[in-house]
Chain A
C-alpha cells in the first residue's frame, strides 16, 4: 500500500513537473508608449502583439516553448524608455526586444541595448541615427526618415509639379530629422520652401497657419505626430489654408485613427498621409492572413498601420530564435543578419554594409494615400495608385 502511495505521489510530481516544464516560455520584450501623447500607438501595438502571439503559439511556439511578451511603457519619454529597456534586460532577462515608435525614445534605448548587448528590432522610429550609429545589436524593420523622404515624399512633390512647399515640423528628433532631409531634397530639386517649427504639445495653430497662408504653398508637409495633427488639419481649413493648399501628414497613423473624421470634419477631405498599409494592397499572403486574423479577433478592419509593424517585428524575432536554435545574444544577431522572412509588407532582409543608415535596416514599401469622399485612395507611387490626386481650389 505504502509503495502504491509513494509511486502515485511520484507520478503526480512528475506530471506536475512536466506540466510546469511545458509552461516554460520564451519571453520577448516590447518597448513603446502606452501612456503620454502617443498612447494610441501603445493600443495599436497591443493589438498587433496579440495577433502575432496567437499566430505563433498556434503553431506550437518556438523551440518547443510558448512565446510570451512583456510590454514596458516608455510614455514617449527618453529617460523612461531607457529605464524600461534596462528593466527588460536585467530584471526580466529577455533575450530580445522589439518595438518603439518615438525616435527620441529609440535613440535612448539603442544605447542601453548596446551596453547590455541585447538585440533590439525597432519597427516605427524613423530617425536615421538609430541604424546610422551602426550598433551591432540594433536592427530596424521599418521606415527610416531618409528613405521616406528620398523615395516617397520628395518624388511625390516633384512628380505632381508642386511649385512651393511649406514644411511644418514638431520639435522632436523625428520632426527635426525628417524636416532637414526634406529641406535637402527640396534644395536639390530647386523647389522653393519655407520651414516652420512648432511645439509638440501645441493645440492652437492659428498663428502658424496664418503665417503659412501668407506664403501660399501648394502643399504643406506636416511633420506633427499625435492629436496635434487633428488640430492642425481642422484649423487649416478654418483659416482658409486648405484645401487650396494640400496637407500631407508625414507620419500617417493620426489620419487613420477612428476619431479622425469626428475631430476634423470636412477638413479631412483631400488630406494626404503616409502609410504602409491599405485595405486593397496586399503584397504578401501574410498580409492577407493578418487582415483576416485581425478582423476575426477585433471585429473590425485594422486602421493604424503600426499594429501591423509590431506584428512583423515579433515574427522576425521569433524566426531568428528558431533559426538560431538558442536565445543567446550572439547567435540571435547572427541569425537576424541572415533573415529572409516574408512578413506583411514584403520579404525582410537586413542591410549589412556598414557606414550608413542602411546597416541592419530594412524598409517596407510606403504609400501616399489621399482621403477622397472619406475613402482611402492610394495616389502614389504610380504603380500602386488607385486614382488621381485631387487638388483643391
Chain B
C-alpha cells in the first residue's frame, strides 16, 4: 500500500513538472502555430545559467533562478525577431528552423558547458518521511509547490489580464484581432518569449533534481510534445491534465508492468490519442 502511494505521489509530482515544461510549447503552438523544437534546449540552457550564476559567479540561488528565466525570455524574444518572424504563414519553415536550432544549441551547450552533468545547488536537502509510510525528497516537494505557483500565475496571466486577453484573441482569429487594434507582432514576440521563459522556469526548477547535460534536451522536448498532443494543442488545461496522466501512467506502468518500458507508455498514449482523438483531450476539433 505504501508503495502504491509512493508511485502515485511521484506520478503527480512528475506530472506537474511535465505540465510546466509542456505549457510553454502549447502556448507557442496555440498562438503562433509554431512548433518549437528547440524547447528542450532552452530548458537545458536555463539549467546551465542557473548553475553558473550561482556556482561560478556566486549569485544567491533564489536570485539566480529568476535571472536565468529572464535571460531565456530575452533569448526567446531574440529567436522570434530573427528566426521565427520571417517564417510566419509557413508552418513548415518554422518547424525546420527550430529543428536545426535545436541541433545547433545542443552542440553549443556541449562546446560551452562541457559533457558533464551540472546541477545548481539544492535549496533544501534530505528527504521527508511522509505519514510514516515512505521517504520523499525535500527538493522534489519544494519543486512541486513552486511548479504549482508557476502554473497558477500563468493561468492568471492568460485568463485575467489584458495581455492574456490579446493572446487569446490572436489565437482565435489573428486578422480580426489585428483589426480591432491588437498589435499582433508585439504579442507574438512577447508570447514566444513567455513560452521560452516557461521552458526556462522548468529548467531552473528541475535542474537541482535532474542535473542538466547537453544531450538531456531531447527527452525534455519529447515529453513536452506528448503532453501537448495528449492535452490538446494550445490548451493550457490540457497541459496540466496531460502532464498528470503521463506522470502517473509512467510510474504505475514502470511499477506494475515493466521498468524497462517506462517511456513506451508515453508513446502508447500518444498513438492512441492520435488515432482516436487527434485534437487531444481539451483541444478544439478543426474542420
Q: A interface vs B, CB < 8 Å?
A: 35-40, 42-43, 171, 196-199, 201-204, 206-208, 210-211, 214, 227, 230-231, 235, 237-240, 257-259, 262-263, 265-266
Contact status of A210 and B7, CB under 8 A, knowing A43-B115, A239-B134, A259-B211: yes
A257 touches B116 (CB 8 A): yes
Which of A210, A230, A235, A266 neighbours the largest number of chain B CB atoms within 10 Å of its CB? A210
Those of B111-162 within 8 Å (CB) of chain A: 114-119, 122, 125-127, 134-137, 140
State in angstroms the CA–CA spacing of A38 and B258 once bound together.
25
State in angstroms the CA–CA spacing of A116 and B6 once bound together.
54
- Additional A-B contact list (11), CB under 8 Å, known A37-B213, A199-B260, A231-B211: A38-B115, A201-B219, A203-B219, A207-B7, A227-B117, A227-B213, A238-B126, A257-B117, A259-B116, A262-B119, A263-B118
Q: Which residues of the other chain, A, contact B259 by a CB distance below 8 angstroms?
A: 196-199, 207-208, 211
Q: Which residues of the other chain, A, contact B213 by a CB distance below 8 angstroms?
A: 37, 39, 227
| B171 sits at the interface (CB 8 A) | no
Could you tell me the distance in whole angstroms from the C-beta of B106 to the nearest C-beta in chain A?
8
By Cβ-Cβ distance, the 8 closest A-B pairs, closest first, are A39-B115, A197-B260, A238-B137, A240-B135, A227-B117, A40-B115, A238-B127, A207-B254
User: CB within 8 A of B14: which of A38, A204, A257, A266?
Assistant: A204
| B255 sits at the interface (CB 8 A) | yes
Q: Which residues of the other chain, A, contact B24 by a CB distance below 8 angstroms?
A: none
Contact status of A37 and B215, CB under 8 A, knowing A42-B115, A210-B134: yes
Could you tell me the distance in whole angstroms from the C-beta of B111 to the nearest C-beta in chain A?
10
Contact status of A35 and B215, CB under 8 A, knowing A204-B14, A206-B6, A230-B117: yes
Q: Which residues of the other chain, B, contact A201 by a CB distance below 8 angstroms?
A: 219, 263
User: CB within 8 A of B137: which of A196, A235, A259, A262?
Assistant: A235
- Residue on A nearest B220 in the bound complex, by CB: A203
- Residue on A nearest B3 in the bound complex, by CB: A210
State in angstroms the CA–CA spacing of A54 and B183 once bound together.
62
A199 touches B262 (CB 8 A): yes
- Residue on A nearest B117 in the bound complex, by CB: A227
B134 touches A197 (CB 8 A): no
State in angstroms the CA–CA spacing of A36 and B215 once bound together.
6
* Chain B interface, number of residues (Cβ within 8 angstroms): 39
Mask, B210-251, CB within 8 Å of A = 1, is 110111100100000000000000000000000000000001
State in angstroms the CA–CA spacing of A231 and B140 once bound together.
13
Q: Which residues of the other chain, B, contact A238 by a CB distance below 8 angstroms?
A: 126-127, 135-137, 140
| B68 sits at the interface (CB 8 A) | no
State in angstroms the CA–CA spacing of A196 and B6 once bound together.
18
| B83 sits at the interface (CB 8 A) | no
Could you tell me the distance in whole angstroms from the C-beta of B258 to the nearest C-beta in chain A?
7
User: CB within 8 A of A230: which of B7, B211, B255, B262?
Assistant: B211
A204 touches B119 (CB 8 A): no
Could you tell me the distance in whole angstroms from the C-beta of A73 to the nearest C-beta in chain B?
11
Q: Which residues of the other chain, A, contact B172 by a CB distance below 8 angstroms?
A: none
Could you tell me the distance in whole angstroms from the C-beta of B7 to the nearest C-beta in chain A?
6
Could you tell me the distance in whole angstroms from the C-beta of B16 to the nearest C-beta in chain A?
13
State in angstroms the CA–CA spacing of A199 and B137 once bound together.
22
A239 touches B135 (CB 8 A): yes
| B178 sits at the interface (CB 8 A) | no
Q: Which residues of the other chain, B, contact A235 by a CB distance below 8 angstroms?
A: 137
- Residue on A nearest B261 in the bound complex, by CB: A199
Contact status of A39 and B119, CB under 8 A, knowing A203-B210, A207-B259, A240-B135: no
- Residue on A nearest B135 in the bound complex, by CB: A240
B210 touches A204 (CB 8 A): yes
Q: Which residues of the other chain, B, contact A239 by a CB distance below 8 angstroms?
A: 6, 127, 134-137
| B10 sits at the interface (CB 8 A) | yes
Mask, B244-281, CB within 8 Å of A = 1, is 00000001001100111111000000000000000000
- Residue on B nearest A228 in the bound complex, by CB: B117
- Residue on B nearest A35 in the bound complex, by CB: B110
Q: Which residues of the other chain, B, contact A37 by a CB distance below 8 angstroms?
A: 213, 215
Q: Which residues of the other chain, B, contact A42 by a CB distance below 8 angstroms?
A: 115
State in angstroms the CA–CA spacing of A38 and B216 once bound together.
11
Q: Which residues of the other chain, B, contact A198 by a CB distance below 8 angstroms?
A: 259-260, 262
Q: Which residues of the other chain, A, contact B214 by a CB distance below 8 angstroms?
A: 35, 39
Q: Which residues of the other chain, B, contact A237 by a CB distance below 8 angstroms?
A: 127
| B284 sits at the interface (CB 8 A) | no
Q: Which residues of the other chain, B, contact A204 by a CB distance below 8 angstroms?
A: 10, 14, 210
A35 touches B258 (CB 8 A): no
State in angstroms the CA–CA spacing of A208 and B6 once bound together.
11
Q: Which residues of the other chain, B, contact A265 by a CB distance below 8 angstroms?
A: 122, 125
Q: Which residues of the other chain, A, contact B215 by a CB distance below 8 angstroms?
A: 35-37, 39
A197 touches B258 (CB 8 A): yes
Q: Which residues of the other chain, A, contact B115 by a CB distance below 8 angstroms?
A: 38-40, 42-43
Could you tell me the distance in whole angstroms from the C-beta of B167 to the nearest C-beta in chain A?
32
State in angstroms the CA–CA spacing of A231 and B14 once bound together.
15
List 24 A–B pairs whose Cβ atoms lie within 8 Å, in order of A's numbering. Answer: A35-B107, A35-B110, A197-B259, A199-B262, A199-B263, A203-B210, A204-B210, A206-B10, A206-B251, A207-B254, A207-B259, A207-B262, A210-B6, A210-B255, A211-B259, A214-B3, A227-B213, A227-B216, A231-B211, A239-B127, A240-B127, A262-B118, A263-B119, A263-B211
